[in-house]
Structure 1
Amino acid sequence: MDYSSLPNGEIMCIDMKCFYASCVAMLHGLDILKTPVAVVANFDQPGSIVLAASPLMREKFKVKTSSRRFEIPKHPDIKLFEPKMSFFIDMSMAITRLIAKYVPSDAIHVYSIDESFVDLSGINTLWGSPEEVAKEIQKAIYDQFRIPSAVGMGPNMLLAKLALDLEAKKTGFAKWTYNDVPTKLWPVRPLSEMWGIGRQMEAKLNAMGIQTVGGLANSDLNELENKFGIIGNQLYFHAWGVDLSTLGEPLVKNNALSFGKGQMLMKDYHTKNDIAVVALEMCEDVMKRTREAGYVGRTISFGLSYSKNAMTKGFHRSKTIDIPTNETLVMYKTCIELLDEFFAGEPARQLAVRISNLEPARSIQLDLFDEHKEKRQIIGHTMDAIRNRFGSVSLLRAVSYTKAGTAISRNSLVGGHLA
């Protein structure tokens, strides 16, 4: 691979270590490195997940992110807290403002609440080289907020992210160059250890005889493209450390616009009727965003993950309808058809709905055999306007007031957690 013409910047990817736990530790005057701290989604639910755990909590008590509350041992040293999402968001913004003291704001791309990319290329500061600036930013964040961080650096966003995930999260700081790709990236296995490769893609690549990132880099590009399309092309070049995206663009480009929503249920849902209630609420939210963006869609997807102790794997299926829509009940009806076809009767714990294959809403065609279609369009936009003005729970369907409904309880949440 000839890297001479490829981007060769100074990109930093910085991650706040156990961010939620660090924030609540700071709020309560605790030392995150010396105190076993865990942030639990909901104290009222024994099966509620651990959103963050301090290093000592992981090392001494074997409690990690995604553990369940009932798995946390009863010990006097352990400190448990519920999330304060509004505070976490404020802290994330404060950290971004601190970083902006070192670089222009347009050189910062906030990737998630606890992770950001920063372009240090060509930055001439009093702090020294890009590496020294990165370490000074780490020090400033810890001095001001008592939040430890890890930094990966590379010539592009991809290698900065890989340096972070594969090395810096263990050592605190790592800088990779293109020369490091064969020695540090190619040996990685299983493939899902590499950012951008999930379990399903890993299984497909394994079936082709590809077990390591090096095996992916030295596989046949045409074969990958024939099997996976543009994703195959991206996989191949990412295995070589090549990334042409600029700051702010997604590392994996996908031109297929869609609207979707996923929701972790706070209890097991055992019947299709109860699952359908939540599905309707989720369709309502997704279609509201679709209408407001001015789109209609043809392909509707529904996914369901079963409870931890279920004997069956979940499913994710899609169905393409003939006439594009942004109507809630059309999406809901299609989701229920998929639920009826693929539901295995096991208790459900997570749902996902999505609409894709979009086109502008002006392409909606009137149906000579559906005289109420135009009225439903008007009603949909009217309901959206009411909710925008008076709040999302000002106008609800009756099912949201049943025991299976979640819309009212989730109204006080931020990002699915306590505000």
Structure 2
Amino acid sequence: MKELPNREIACLDMRSFYASCAAAWEGLDVMKTPIAIIGNIERKGGVVLAASPPLKEKFGIQTGMRLYEIPDDPSIHLIEPKMQFYIDISMELTRLLNRYVPKEAIHVYSIDESFIDFTGTEKLWGPVEQTIARIQDEMYRQFQLHSACGIGPNMLLSKLALDLEAKKTGMARWTYEDVPDKLWPVSPLHKMWGIGRKVERTLEDMGIYTVGDLAHASLDRLEKKFGVMGNQLYYHAHGIDYSTLGSVLIDQQVSYGKGQTLLRDYVTTDEILTVVLEMCEDAAMRLRLAKKRARTVQLSFGYSKHVHGGGFQRQQTLESSTDETLVIYRVCIKLFETYHDGRPVRHISVSLSNVEDANSFQLNLFEPLQGKQEKLGHVMDELRQLYGSKAILRAVSLTPGGTADRRSKLIGGHYK
């Protein structure tokens, strides 16, 4: 086994980031004021994107709930998101970190979370805990943002220290020696970063219920069941991670997809397929930009709550991989015609999996125009990257059922 990494990696998370930014904008105290960030205040079904601690504790409102579930209480502040403002604040936080470490030592994991390598900074700033406390103090004084930080010898343990301890205490350090006492008792398994509900169910079917069970499971058995991910699960259960800063820590990106909840029920075939085509366009573009092709196309529908919900999720695997929008769309049409039962649709998603590198695909001698279609797709991608997603649209996106034009005005799914 390689020598275990032993660096000073910190995982810094802004607590209640969206609510805190909104509170600062409005001149409120996020720790004392019930605040809900609502995706669309004009709609009773608007989603709660973020909730301040008082809103969670006093009223039981959590992220993901709906506007109509929030009590009609005058103390509650309902605020629409200002996505560009949040992005600007996130960039300023990164600049603050850059005063303590070089840019190469910062990996922005999400808008409110970053990994920082403090290895060697002790000579400049003193002990790492002291440096982080100083940074946290500056973030609060400048931006009124509270934060939590996990510290570990690698990215994995710093993240686990954050999620499982520091979010309650403000700061926590985990070492390899802490793994048996702090990590192995963790249950249910989805509490460990990198294990989703589906993997958790599979592990439970194997008689594995805690991280300790996972750490003591047979490596051969895990690899046989999960492949490469089984190896990763085993070593992560021991706190071992060889990822370098900025690399993919949980390497499970095996699909590319796009989905959206519609603003109203879609009933007609033309409107539904318009959105499906837009989803295919977006998903295929992600494939092309990643220099990948996919063989399996999955179409998922969620039906309207007015017809008691439900839906379907079906997929088809092609003989050869593709990154062409219309090839993917034709598969979706076939799935739609086979499985859609005519009920109004409220959610649509398209997912592409069974992915391989673009330069490894097999040419199809029976489709001589394949090269032209491929070039056309890349040209459209370049135009959108240069001039924005509205630079080139399919005509159906301008019909009443199209959503691409509206979505082009959004940042992170919300208006700027």
Same fold (TM over 0.5): yes
Change in 2 beyond 3 A, CA 1:42/1:207: same
Change in 2 beyond 3 A, CA 1:292/1:13: closer
Measured after TM superposition, the shift of residue 221 of structure 1 is: 1.5
Q: Secondary structure at the match of 1:111?
A: strand
Quote the residue 2:235 is aligned against: 237
Unaligned runs of 5+ in 2: none
Residue 247 (1) aligns with residue 245 (2) = yes
Residue 331 (1) aligns with residue 328 (2) = yes
Quote the residue 1:38 is aligned against: 36
Measured after TM superposition, the shift of residue 286 of structure 1 is: 2.5
TM-score using structure 1 length: 0.90
Letter in 2 for 1:323: S
Distance 1:310 1:265 in 2: 15
Distance 1:212 1:189 in 2: 5
TM-score using structure 2 length: 0.90
Quote the residue 1:199 is aligned against: 197
Change in 2 beyond 3 A, CA 1:271/1:178: farther
Change in 2 beyond 3 A, CA 1:361/1:17: same
Measured after TM superposition, the shift of residue 66 of structure 1 is: 0.8
Query: Which residue, out of 213, 218, 223, partners 1:225?
Result: 223
Measured after TM superposition, the shift of residue 9 of structure 1 is: 1.6
Distance 1:309 1:64 in 2: 24
Measured after TM superposition, the shift of residue 170 of structure 1 is: 1.4
Distance 1:193 1:129 in 2: 30
- The superposition leaves residues 180-199 of structure 1 with CA deviations (integer Å, 9 ceiling, x where unpaired) of 21111111111111111111
Change in 2 beyond 3 A, CA 1:7/1:146: same
Summarize the alignment of residues 7-406 of structure 1 with structure 2, pairs less than 5 Å apart: 7-254=5-252, 259-269=256-266, 273-292=270-289, 294-305=291-302, 316-343=313-340, 345=343, 347-360=345-358, 365=363, 367-368=365-366, 370=367, 372-388=369-385, 390-406=387-403
Letter in 2 for 1:85: M
Change in 2 beyond 3 A, CA 1:340/1:199: farther
Q: Secondary structure at the match of 2:177?
A: helix
Q: Secondary structure at the match of 1:38?
A: strand
Change in 2 beyond 3 A, CA 1:269/1:87: same
2:383/2:391 contact within 8 Å kept: yes
Change in 2 beyond 3 A, CA 1:294/1:6: closer
2:150/2:161 contact within 8 Å kept: yes
Letter in 2 for 1:276: L
Distance 1:290 1:218 in 2: 38
Distance 1:366 1:77 in 2: 64
Distance 2:131 2:396 in 1: 54
Distance 1:360 1:332 in 2: 19
Measured after TM superposition, the shift of residue 307 of structure 1 is: 5.8
Distance 1:221 1:306 in 2: 42
Bigger shift: 14-23 or 375-384? 375-384
Change in 2 beyond 3 A, CA 1:35/1:157: same
Distance 2:111 2:365 in 1: 45
Backbone CA RMSD of aligned residues: 2.7
Measured after TM superposition, the shift of residue 212 of structure 1 is: 1.1
Measured after TM superposition, the shift of residue 404 of structure 1 is: 2.8
Letter in 1 for 2:238: W
Change in 2 beyond 3 A, CA 1:315/1:8: farther
Distance 2:102 2:388 in 1: 36
Q: Secondary structure at the match of 2:122?
A: coil
For these two proteins, the number of residue pairs brought into alignment is 415
Distance 2:223 2:386 in 1: 48
Measured after TM superposition, the shift of residue 375 of structure 1 is: 4.8
Measured after TM superposition, the shift of residue 251 of structure 1 is: 1.4
Measured after TM superposition, the shift of residue 42 of structure 1 is: 1.2
Measured after TM superposition, the shift of residue 268 of structure 1 is: 4.4
Q: Aligned residues: percent identity?
A: 50
Measured after TM superposition, the shift of residue 354 of structure 1 is: 2.4
Q: Secondary structure at the match of 1:301?
A: strand
Measured after TM superposition, the shift of residue 281 of structure 1 is: 0.4
Query: Which residue, out of 401, 412, 417, partners 2:414?
Result: 417
1:306/1:350 contact within 8 Å kept: no
Letter in 1 for 2:223: E
Unaligned runs of 5+ in 1: none
Measured after TM superposition, the shift of residue 386 of structure 1 is: 4.8
